[in-house]
Structure 1
Amino acid sequence: MNRMGENQSAEALEQGLATALARAGLGAPVGLRRLTGGATMESWMFASDGSEYVLRRAPSLSFMEGRPFGHDSEAAIIRAAHEAEVTAPEVIVELEPEDGIGSGFVMRALPGTPDPRVILQMDDPAAILRDVARDIARIHGLPRAALPDDVPEMDYAEAVEGLAQQFEEAGADRPIIALGLNWLRANLPDRVDPVLNHGDYRLGNLLAEDSRLTGVLDWELAHFGDRHEDLAFGCMAVWRFARVDRPALGLGSLQDYVDAYEAESGAKVDAGRFRFWLVYRTVWWALGCIRMASFWRSGDDRMLERVVISRRTSEQELDLLLLLEEDAPEEEQARPVPRAEEKLEPMGEASVGEIATAISEWLATVKDRMEGHDRFQLAVARNALGMIARGDAVEVEFDDELLAQELLDGERSLATPGLLAMLRRNALDKLGADVPKYPMLALARAKWTGED
């Protein structure tokens, strides 16, 4: 099997890229470097003939298997968006098999930063939000005739059942996800006339500079469907980063976002449909996080980020419970959350958590010797060791196949006495071990326990 990513030499990548660039009349790449981040696809920055470009490609050829369309169609979608004055990049050339470096394409680099924390600190986030509303309205206005024939249309029921199948394949033992799946089945909306959805429109995939939107990236999940799905996805708590107080992409209020979008698109936003897709996408990303571990186990992509991202499932489970708990009876919402159970302090030989802490402390001493993607990977490694250390210090019971099945089948629900309080406790403990700095954790802890 041909594995790419970190297993492929920089020399081979440069040679294949030079072959592709020649088809576009460009010279060989200079200063090729891997950009950090990217939960699915790789991005490489380089210069050619005095201008900067970005190569986007899959980490392995097998990674593209089962996807609704390939990089050729993704490139065509981006071209159509660019021509419609969406802030999409200009596609220069697609990779071909004879290039020998897998599947992908080259884009002209855009100005601005993708760093959400930098974007959220810009002087006028409201201006960025208006740009977002304009761009997403233009995406939703792209006609089918301008797009590749293989762009799929989402069938809502099939999509929900697809998530249920993923849940089954992942062990079907996470009660909060089961609760979400049951809710989605019970609240499935009627089909509406579909529009093109970007599919991944949120901070992290947007570029901004001087309080203006400068780019929209990562179009691999584009599909036809309900416009509310695109609108809701960027408003998930996880994509607001530190600004959980600003529900619209961390940039402003939902009302301002809705008003700007309606003015740009001429379409009305329905609050009920918005909530459905917010729940749907939270379940979707919870299962997407779990699935990262299977990519790593398969050997197709042994990047460290995969196993660490899989533990971010607990972020989505907490967010999902916050979304669904409003449907619980008032007496269950008011029921006190049980106290956390802590392990006794370790004695004798070093515990697993202590060993993880010791390794993390040593890695901190070599941090300054690292640069580029290696430095990023070191930070990911320290995060992983922190998960081990914190998880070793508390008793967390989160995997429960029987309870999950009962919730999925509707035999138990948020009306079951004491269930919501127990799920809240487990969600707090699991996320406290996995990602204690997740902003919604502090909000949930204060709401559910009264603790700071």
Structure 2
Amino acid sequence: MGEIDGASALEPGLAKALARVGLAAPEGLRRLTGGATMESWFFSSGAEDFVLRRAPSLSFMEGRPFGHEVEAAIINAAHNAGVMAPEVVVGLEPADGIGSGFVMRALPGTAEPRVILDMKQPGRLLEEVARDLARIHAIPRAALPEDVPELDYAEAVNGLVQQFEVAGGDRPVIALGLKWLRDNLPEPVEPVLNHGDFRLGNLLAENSHLTGVLDWELCHFGDRHEDLAFGCMAVWRFSRIDRPALGLGSLEDYLVAYEQESGFGADLDRFRFWLIYRTVWWALGCLRMASFWRSGDDRMLERVVISRRTSEQELDLLLLLEEDAPEEERARPLPPIEKRPKPQGEASMGEIASAISEWLAAIKDRMEGHDRFQLAVARNALGMLARGDQIVAECENGHLAQQLFRGERSLRNPGVLAALRRTALDKLAADVPKYPMLERARAKWTG
């Protein structure tokens, strides 16, 4: 289904929802690019702009901690607490016939990370980001729906272990991370409301000012350090991996600004735990994207491509965990790269993928909106196939993974760290060669 066809299918039901709050039928409905889970559609009604947030299918909402009605109530509570959250104006109903979701007033600014990272005063923006996070953490339970869950640390780690086993249990670096989490589980602290996805990509900014906080579907009560750490993951710093705090500045400046607004000083040991936890969490989240596609619940191309971003998190996780390895293992040279011989005779799978990618590049100017975005995703997928055809990367090793998870082997064993480093580099070079942390890891591990 193309973008225009999708908009035509949504317009009648959306008009019905808008009419319940006295708004005119939508005009200029178009899907916004991006979004790893939910769809976002921009439109106008009268003289105002709005955004429809919608699940791609009703089955996609199954197993989630709460539905869109609760999410909308959380957003409005945050809006009322002075957070730069949008105002929800109406929720979809079954009779609308367009699934589950709600309509929000559009906010100014851009969510494009690279545009935000190029703004002139990133330090000022970082202070405002810290301010809003502190305000989220201060929202009382009484202002929120009862359905907002509370995270039990041990149950959360066990849940990751279950996801790992369902996904095959054959990724050594993830197994190593799960073992570390179990061994370093912190004592519970007084829970606060966590946004759950507080990072670049879900923040709007304009002229170095924060203008919006989006995507509240992962809200829960838990340790404030989880929210603080999540936005500082390398993957969410995008091109500015040199700025540890959301790609905007130093970790020290971020934590100082947060403390000035909240009155709470951060515990760096707890921060590291949640940084590792969330890196494992997102690695497994990427893997799950492929299962959504396989099940038929969501056959969007982004799902299978995002699943290959697991390699980003495996590399980042290894960079975090290797701090605990003995010095002699950190200094051990990597095994050599093993490459496949150059193809002879008929075209290889990688060459076929390259040929299709070149053809797609020739027709990209005929595409618009989300279809053009999908074409770019398709070319990324074909690039993965072409690069992977040239490198032999032993990324799945169930025996080693289980040994690491059980503690029978660790980074203290000679050669384990070096082998994991080699695999992480080779796999990421095939999957996402432009990932910024790849060059940093190469420099650190190979000199």
Q: Say if 1:180 and 1:283, in contact at 8 Å, map to a contact too.
A: yes
Match of 2:356 in 1: 359
- What pairs up with 1:8-407 in 2 under 5 angstroms? 9-407=6-404
Match of 1:449 in 2: 446
The Cα of 1:341 is off from its aligned counterpart by 1.1
What 5-or-longer segments of structure 1 have no aligned partner? none
AA of the residue aligned to 2:348? S
AA of the residue aligned to 2:256? D
The Cα of 1:203 is off from its aligned counterpart by 0.2
How many Å separate the matches in 2 of 1:157 and 1:105?
33
The Cα of 1:5 is off from its aligned counterpart by 9.7
The Cα of 1:10 is off from its aligned counterpart by 2.7
AA of the residue aligned to 2:336? R
3-state SS in 2 of match to 1:393: coil
How many Å separate the matches in 1 of 2:147 and 2:336?
52
Cα deviation 1:76-121 (Å, max 9, x = unaligned): 0000000011000011100011000010000000000000000000
**240-249 or 8-17, which deviates more:** 8-17
Q: Say if 1:44 and 1:54, in contact at 8 Å, map to a contact too.
A: yes
Q: Say if 2:289 and 2:303, in contact at 8 Å, map to a contact too.
A: yes
Establish whether residue 423 from structure 1 lines up as the match of residue 420 from structure 2. yes
**Cα pair distance change 1:7/1:155, threshold 3 Å:** farther
Q: Say if 1:89 and 1:107, in contact at 8 Å, map to a contact too.
A: yes
Q: Say if 2:2 and 2:371, in contact at 8 Å, map to a contact too.
A: no
**34-43 or 335-344, which deviates more:** 335-344
3-state SS in 2 of match to 1:232: helix
Q: Say if 2:110 and 2:205, in contact at 8 Å, map to a contact too.
A: yes
How many Å separate the matches in 2 of 1:86 and 1:400?
45
AA of the residue aligned to 1:266? G
**Cα pair distance change 1:295/1:370, threshold 3 Å:** same
The Cα of 1:12 is off from its aligned counterpart by 2.8
How many Å separate the matches in 1 of 2:147 and 2:277?
24
3-state SS in 2 of match to 1:107: strand
How many Å separate the matches in 2 of 1:112 and 1:343?
47
TM norm structure 1:
0.98
Cα deviation 1:117-174 (Å, max 9, x = unaligned): 0000000000110000100000000000000000000000000000000000000000
Match of 1:435 in 2: 432
**Cα pair distance change 1:164/1:345, threshold 3 Å:** same
3-state SS in 1 of match to 2:51: strand
AA of the residue aligned to 2:82? E
Cα deviation 1:249-308 (Å, max 9, x = unaligned): 000000000100011000110000000000000000000000000000000100000000
Q: Say if 2:204 and 2:213, in contact at 8 Å, map to a contact too.
A: yes
Q: Say if 2:311 and 2:427, in contact at 8 Å, map to a contact too.
A: yes
The Cα of 1:8 is off from its aligned counterpart by 7.3
How many Å separate the matches in 2 of 1:231 and 1:212?
19
Q: Say if 1:5 and 1:60, in contact at 8 Å, map to a contact too.
A: no
Cα deviation 1:213-247 (Å, max 9, x = unaligned): 00000000000000000000000000000000000
TM norm structure 2:
0.99
Cα deviation 1:322-354 (Å, max 9, x = unaligned): 000010011000001112111111110000000
Q: Say if 2:3 and 2:31, in contact at 8 Å, map to a contact too.
A: no
How many Å separate the matches in 2 of 1:9 and 1:269?
46
Q: Say if 1:343 and 1:393, in contact at 8 Å, map to a contact too.
A: yes
3-state SS in 2 of match to 1:366: helix
How many Å separate the matches in 2 of 1:338 and 1:402?
19
Q: Say if 1:200 and 1:233, in contact at 8 Å, map to a contact too.
A: yes
**338-347 or 357-366, which deviates more:** 338-347
RMSD: 1.1
**Cα pair distance change 1:234/1:432, threshold 3 Å:** same
How many Å separate the matches in 2 of 1:363 and 1:378?
7
Q: Say if 1:5 and 1:42, in contact at 8 Å, map to a contact too.
A: no
